[in-house]
Structure 1
Amino acid sequence: MTDQERDRPAASSGSSHRHWTVAPEPNRARHGPALRAGVLGASDGLVSNLSLVMGVAGSGVAGNVVIIAGLAGLVAGALSMGLGEYLSVQSSRELFAHELEIEAHELATNPAAEVDELCAIYERKGIPTDQAHALAERIVRGNPAFALDTMAREELGIDPGQLGGSAWVAAGTSLVLFAVGALIPLLPFVLLGSSAAVAVAAAVSGVALFGLGAAITNLTGMNPIRAGLRQLAFGAAAATVTYGIGAAIGGLVR
């Protein structure tokens, strides 16, 4: 039998019902929490520490003060990002796991109600009532694991296959890449004099901002050039504002 013949709806002279099957939808973008946390962590580290060191440098203080402030911002921000990412991922997983437990209990104790719920979902998708009910009956009263997977996707909007991934890995990735991003605008102040460091930090950070904006399109699907320019514009605006504020405050206190 050919693949085309296997894929055709079964038909018989005694029944006008088509036999519906449920196939898993291919996941086109199976990005784990670690990838998202890493890319966004690096972006946050770069923008926040660029703004911080530019604000401090704008006040006219000595270069070692800028370095101390930048290191403090790097450490504090990285720890905050790592902890926040862990809590976010772990809390989401615990919430989804609890919802799946409730759904599994409902399937075991009141399958008729679950049949009605799934039938209504399929009817809203355009499947005729009799066929929707037959399909829902077959799923709910069939394999329990498949029934739970189907109800999770159709009723709860959860893909059980994407609940994996370690919250610790996501947190560690976010922490490390935040620190890497935050280090980019700080290095020129470590390696160069403070006067030259401002211009070099701005230039290097601008290139990094554009690159990160383009990289984030792997998650968003946006145009890389547009996303890179947007990230560059926002980062430059933040750094310009903080530099101006630092210069104004520095002029007042000197």
Structure 2
Amino acid sequence: MTDQTPHGSASDRTRWRRYLAAERAEGAVYRELAARREGEERAILLALAAAEGRHEAHWLALLGGDDAGVPRADLRTRLLASLARRFGSIFVLALAQRAEARSPYATDPDATPAMAADERIHGEVVRGLASRGRRRLAGTFRAAVFGANDGLVSNLALVLGIGATGVAPGVVLFTGIAGLLAGALSMGAGEYVSVRSQRELLEASAPDPTAREALPHLDVDANELALVYRARGMQEQEAVEHAALVVARVQAVEDAHTPTDALSVVEHDDEAVGTGLAAALSSFCFFASGALIPVLPYLFGMTGPAAIITATVLVSIALLATGATVGLLSGASPFKRAVRQLAIGLGAAAVTYVLGLAFGTSIS
């Protein structure tokens, strides 16, 4: 066990103070998030805050109880605390998940193995909490991100390709607006049909709610209900035992109004699918907002290379922002996702620009 004394080199004490500041800030983040939650989620977040408090006590003991000169937490942790106070959203949980994953305790000689293990488990706890929010917004968020990205890339490619041919700026502007409207309508309609179709497929696979009326009359010995569970993926012995339990319970209380999930094995996560209308509206609006950006220079009267360069810069900034947002929500590196989004978007636009140049040269 670590010798908890107020000794240590100057560099050791500086490191301990830095850890102490980080633990205090992380505990504050979890308390701020807990203040915006209820029930089980609140209890989990408060338990995480209490664990950070134990880690805080460890570093304070090494410092001999002297917390003078403790620095502010790093910028990322302070930002996390600020977001938690103001929003308490899925973004904060996703950031907290990344923060827990970066813990240096596994290689620090002054941190106990239990502390290093705590940090790894904290990351999984936060991942679980964040996954609830991700499921709630998955359908609509997917449509929003895809819509914005498609609007940015497709309309930039369209505007650059047409602009490179040397046609009049008015033609480029009209083409961009037409691409915006056509793409937004197509995306909205496509998302609506896609999500509605997915929900209809899930509903077709769900148990028939009227079938539960037969449960009180099943033969306990023959018990055809086991075949239902086997058809839905259970192993034979497990299905037989589960079916016997369900039938015995239903017949014991003579309850014909058995819950509809009595025939279910796995519940479908409708929240992750989203609704058709919400996905369509989200896709339409975000595609339109993304597709508007490449057109802005022409709307403000810019022409030629200046308009092309401005449109490319504006779209690049937007691509970096959408990529970073996806990275944050997925718990991955925002920087890597942002660069990937930028590379894909500009690569697609570059192809149409080169084609536009070639086509413009051939007709000149």
When normalised by structure 2's length, the TM-score is 0.54
1:191-215 deviations in whole A, cap 9, x for unaligned?
A: 2233311111111111111111122
- Counterpart for residue 151 of structure 1: 265
Does 1:173 pair with 2:282?
yes
Check the 8 A contact 1:58/1:243 in 2, yes or no: yes
Q: 1:152, 1:159 within 8 Å by CA — same for their partners in 2?
A: no
Aligned residue in 2 for 1:47: 153
Shift of 1:91: 1.4
- Aligned 1:63-82 pairs, distance under 5 A: 63-82=169-188
Verify: 1:92 aligned to 2:198, yes or no.
Answer: yes
Amino acid corresponding to residue 206 of structure 1 in structure 2 = S
Partner Cα separation in structure 1 for residue 269 and residue 225 of structure 2: 18
Q: Which amino acid aligns with 1:47?
A: V
Whether 2:357 is the aligned partner of 1:242: answer no
Q: Distance in 2 between matches of 1:160 and 1:113?
A: 29
Q: Which residue of the other structure, out of 244, 247, 252, is the alignment partner of 1:137?
A: 244
- The match for 1:215 among 287, 302, 325 is 325
Aligned match of 2:226 = 115
The corresponding residue for 2:96 is none
Contact 1:184/1:201 (8 A) holds in 2: yes
Q: Residue 34 of structure 1 corresponds to which residue in structure 2?
A: 140
CA–CA separation in structure 1 for the residues paired with 2:344 and 2:208: 43
Contact 2:153 2:348 in 1 (8 A): yes
Total equivalences in the alignment:
218
Cα displacement (A) at 1:161:
5.5
Give yes or no for contact 2:199–2:270 (8 Å, CA) kept in 1: no
Letter in 1 for 2:341: Q
| Larger relative contact order, structure 1 or 2 (CA cutoff 8 Å, min sep 6) | 1
Counterpart in 2 of 1:21?
none
Q: Name the SS for the 2:163 alignment partner.
A: helix
User: So what's the TM-score if we normalise by structure 1?
Assistant: 0.74
Counterparts of 1:161 and 1:84, CA distance in 2: 19
Please list the CA deviations of residues 15-40 of structure 1 after superposition, one character each: whole Å capped at 9, or x if unmatched.
xxxxxxxxxx9853222422221111
Aligned equivalent of 1:230? 340
1:159-206 CA-partner distances (Å, limit 9, x unpaired): 35556x431121111101100000111101222233311111111111
Identity rate of aligned residues, in percent? 40
Deviations 1:78-135 (A, max 9, x none): 00001101111111112222222x55455555873442453684549xxxx4x66434
Code of the residue aligned with 2:349 in structure 1: it is A
CA RMSD in angstroms comes to 2.8
User: Residue in 1 aligned with 2:94?
Assistant: none
Which structure 1 residue ranges, 5 or more long, are not aligned? 1-24
